[in-house]
Each structure stands twice: as structure tokens, then as C-alpha cells.
Chains A and B, each alone.
Chain A
């Protein structure tokens, strides 16, 4: 069990290392000279000596492996350099924005969790009857609707027409409802399918037949016998979905004018601000890998088949 988990951790570390190399090489392969960009940022008139000075300063003349080690060391300490466009410290602006993105993702994950369990259990309780078909149809439609369209529809319905929630902004729980719903709808529908299919599969097992012959009702069987079976699968799917929510954050944060990491990344992409793109990418990748690792360890702990396995 412990060796299984430690093997998984090593895998994640290797993945993280390769991903950081990818991050680094992406910026190295960028067209144009970074030193000229920085020199232009410092003074309007740039001479050749200035460029050479800047190149020396940020270590452009060192060999690539050394530059990578230096960059990674700085990044681990939270020093991501300065933005080429605004001159701000990237690490500082990331720090300010992290809590906003965390609010968005945590709320979205909570919405996805509740929504998917509700839809999935309704489907399984009323299998092959009207509520099941409705739940499945709703899941299919919301899994296919792009999040920006969902956002626009929600804003139109609840802000423009009904005037319940504010159109945009990050001020108090009232303004959080729409972004949470927008970001959580897609994972909720994907996960509801996982719940629905998992429960159905579990309900076809012989121990359910035993439970039925004991005279238990369908809902009792669902919650007591079938539910523990889907937890490992559900956890792993939830991990993937929470990771993918970062994509949602990139789209939804600008829509609702939230100054989060996703918005920072998008601005960086728009203005080709390499340092910002690189820093955000590294943060995103670390987030996915950590979430997936946590989920996998959780899966191993909740799955008796994995728990008792001698590796």
C-alpha cells in the first residue's frame, strides 16, 4: 500500500519535472529577443550595450541547463521575474489573485459535487423512467454547451431579466453565485454520468440481488450497497474535472471581471507577456498534478481492492 502510494508520488514528481522543462522550453523557443524587450521597458532609447547588459543580467548568456536550474530555483521560491509588459512582479500579482481563483474553483467544485450526486442519484432511483431521462438529457445538453454561452445565458436570465444577481464583479457571496454555477455546470453534468453509470453497474451485481431478496428497498440498496462501489471512480473523475476547471477559470473570470489567475493568464497570452504565461502555466500544471495525486491517493484509500493489494 505504502509502496504503491510512493510509486505514484514519484510518477507525479517525474511528470512535474517534465512539465516544467516543457514550460521552460516554450519560452526559450519564443521568437524575438527577450533582452530587447526588457531593455525597451527600462528606457525608451535602447543601445546595443544596454541589450548586452540586460542579457548578462538575466543570464541569457549562460548555457541552457544552467538557466533552467536557475529559473526553477527562483520559481520554487515564488520568484517568477517581472512582467515584460507592465513591469510588475509576477509572483506578487499571482499571490494577490490566487484567493479569487481558489474561491471560483472551490465553489464550482462544490456545485459540481452536489449537482452531479443529485442528478446521478435521481437517475438511478428512477431508472428508465421520466426523471432519469430528464436528468440524462439535462446532463447531455449542459455537457455540450460552451461555458461562455452558459455564462451569457445566466447573466441574461438572472441579471438582466430577473435582476437577482449582479452582472459582474467580485463582491460578496451574492456576486459569486453566477460564476460558480457557470464553472460548475459542465463538471456537474460529466460527473452525473459517472454516478449514474457506476450505480447502474453496481446494481447489476449479485450482492444487490441478495439485498433485494432480504427485502431492502431500492433506495436503501442504492445508498448502502451500491454507493461505496462508485466512490473510487467518482473521486478520480472529480479530480480530473477539478483540474480542467482551470480552463473554465480562464474563460469565466474575464467574463465576470474577476481579477484572478485565469484572467492574468489570458492577459498574458493576449499581450504575449512570456513571464506571466510561463508562471501561470507552471502554477496550473502544478495544480493539476497535485489534484490528481491527491485524488489517486484518496482512490487507493477508498478502494478495498487497491488497499489490500500487495504491490
Chain B
């Protein structure tokens, strides 16, 4: 229930542009196979490098593939990747974070030192290093990104778990004789998951960007699977003659990431109120204080 409340409370606060961008991204990702007018991988060299027209709305690329279809199908590639990374990273992160928040003491110390190391290194560098050791493949990319992102999730879930453990109802449960496992699985974990998943959505933009960057570098999604970063690097040699094939995937990616960044910003407002005027600052503080109660 906490999760539903958190969702409802935050959804109403999300700026419309973010809702539009993320909604479009998710919608295109889910229904891409029905929405794309052509098979994204069908090559037709006779039609290569065409401009926009009635048949091909955004033209065709250097192999004669329909750019519009490829852009749409690429959103699915991205969406599935982001989803998998978020699930994996948050499963590990929430487990580690809640254990650290529940046990405290030296368990907390040791686990958080590992988290510190993970947070001290930029995520993409971790992901690149892991790919460099284990080789390039789809699942290696997903796992490497999850490895790069779990420390952030662990840090947040630890904070949330500490907060929950300090609440009176946990104390009441202890007094009533609830077993540690019961407190952990029925009270601590559900509350933490709800709050952490809200923050995780804001991370989705950075993960989409990382997937695109890895694909751009040739280490993520391999051709012919359409993906924005990979489409961009594919078209880069033809930049002079056909810049549209570079600009379109870039714009699609930027639009999706802008949506997630606005979303993240509106979440950040919950924690650190961005000041407006003095008077607005006071009222905003009052409002954000009430959000916090709903979220955690």
C-alpha cells in the first residue's frame, strides 16, 4: 500500500513534460512491434540515403532501412535494457542496503565501505572495466551496468531502512514479540522497496544514457538490433552527406533522458527544496515536508 500511495503522491507532482517524455518512451517501447511501419532490419540498397517522404517519414539510412521504424524499435531495446538493469541493480542494492540498515554496527560498516568504493568510481568506468574483462555481449552489458548501479541503490535503501527502523511501530513490533525475520520481510522490506523504486525511476535516464553510450562505443547492443547510440555511430561516417541519420537518434535519446531528468529533479525537490522567493520558499518547505511523510 505504501508503494501505491508513494506512486499516487509523486505522480501528481510530476511535471507534465516529464510525464509526456517518459510516457512516449514507455508506450513506444511496449508497442513498438505494432507501431513500426516497416521491419527495422530489412535492407534495400536501392532506397539507401533517401530523404523524408510519404513512404519513409524520416528517410532511410545508408543501408536503405526505414529510420522511423528503427527509431521506434530502438525505444524497446532501450526500455528492456533499462528495466533489466534497474531490477538487477535494485534487487542487489535493496538487499545490501536493508541488511546494513537492519543490522547496523560492523555489518553496516563493512557493507558501506564496499558501497563507498562503488560510488567513488563513475558508473560507466565500472561497466567498461567489467566488459573489458568478461567480453562484449548483451548480458555482459546488463550485468556490468547493474554492477555499476547497485551501490547507489544500496546507499539510498540503507538510508530509508534506517529511517523506518527508527520509527515507533518497529519498536512496538519488537515489544509485541515479532521475530526479526517478520520485522525484516513484512515491515522493513516492503516500505524500503516502495520508497527506493521511486528514486530508481529517476535513475532510468542515466541508465538509458549509459546503454546508448556503450552501444555507441560498440560494447553494448550489437548491430543489426536498432538502438539509438548504435544508430548514431552507424551513421557517423555519413555525417557530411546525411546528418539527419545522426541527429534523429540523438534527439530521440535526448528527449527520453530529459523526461527522466525532470522527473529526478522533481524528486530532488522533495529532499532539498529549491528556493524561489523567500515567501515561496517557506510555502514550498511546508509542502515538501508533507511529501516526505507520504513517501517514506
| Chain A residues within 8 Å of B, Cβ to Cβ | 14-15, 18-19, 22, 26-27, 29-31, 128, 140-141, 143-149, 152-153, 155-156, 160, 197, 200-201, 203-204, 243-244, 246-247, 250-251, 254, 265-266, 268-270, 272-274, 277, 281, 284-285, 288-289, 292
- Could you mark each residue 235-249 of chain B with 1 if its beta carbon is under 8 Å from any beta carbon of chain A, else 0? 010011001001100
Task: Check B131–A269 contact: CB distance below 8 A.
Answer: yes
Task: Check B250–A27 contact: CB distance below 8 A.
Answer: no
B261: which A residues are within 8 A, CB to CB? 140, 143-144
- Which of B82-90, B132-140, B153-161 lies at the binding interface? B132-140
The 9 closest A-B pairs by CB, nearest first: A269-B132, A149-B250, A277-B132, A144-B257, A144-B258, A200-B275, A247-B124, A201-B275, A18-B117
Task: Check B213–A160 contact: CB distance below 8 A.
Answer: no
Task: Check B133–A272 contact: CB distance below 8 A.
Answer: yes
Q: CB of B189 within 8 A of chain A?
A: no
Task: Check A160–B240 contact: CB distance below 8 A.
Answer: yes
| Chain B residues within 8 Å of A, Cβ to Cβ | 113-114, 116-117, 120-122, 124-125, 128-136, 205, 209, 212-213, 216-219, 229, 232-233, 236, 239-240, 243, 246-247, 250, 253-254, 257-258, 261-262, 274-278, 281
Assembly CA distance A256 to B246 (angstroms): 16
Task: Check A26–B239 contact: CB distance below 8 A.
Answer: no
Task: Check B133–A265 contact: CB distance below 8 A.
Answer: no
Task: Check A144–B205 contact: CB distance below 8 A.
Answer: yes
User: CB-nearest residue of chain B relative to A21?
Assistant: B117
A201: which B residues are within 8 A, CB to CB? 275
A86 to nearest B CB, angstroms? Answer: 15
User: CB-nearest residue of chain A relative to B253?
Assistant: A146
B25 to nearest A CB, angstroms? Answer: 13
Task: Check A284–B121 contact: CB distance below 8 A.
Answer: yes
Assembly CA distance A30 to B258 (angstroms): 37
Task: Check A246–B122 contact: CB distance below 8 A.
Answer: yes
A268: which B residues are within 8 A, CB to CB? 132
Assembly CA distance A31 to B130 (angstroms): 12
Assembly CA distance A13 to B130 (angstroms): 24
B204 to nearest A CB, angstroms? Answer: 12
9 A-B pairs in the complex with CB atoms less than 8 angstroms apart? A144-B254, A146-B209, A146-B213, A152-B247, A244-B122, A247-B122, A250-B124, A274-B132, A288-B120
User: CB-nearest residue of chain B relative to A288?
Assistant: B120
B43 to nearest A CB, angstroms? Answer: 23
Assembly CA distance A160 to B136 (angstroms): 33
Assembly CA distance A30 to B243 (angstroms): 40
Assembly CA distance A14 to B120 (angstroms): 12
Interface-central residue, B212, B240, B257, B275, by most chain A CB under 10 Å: B275
A201 to nearest B CB, angstroms? Answer: 5
A143: which B residues are within 8 A, CB to CB? 261
A54 to nearest B CB, angstroms? Answer: 20
A128: which B residues are within 8 A, CB to CB? 276-277
Pick the residue among B129, B135, B239, B254 that contacts A145 (CB under 8 A).
B254
With A18-B114, A156-B239, A197-B274 known as contacts, the answer to whether A269 contacts B219 (CB < 8 A) is: yes
With A144-B205, A146-B229 known as contacts, the answer to whether A281 contacts B240 (CB < 8 A) is: no
User: CB-nearest residue of chain B relative to A141?
Assistant: B258
User: CB-nearest residue of chain A relative to B239?
Assistant: A156
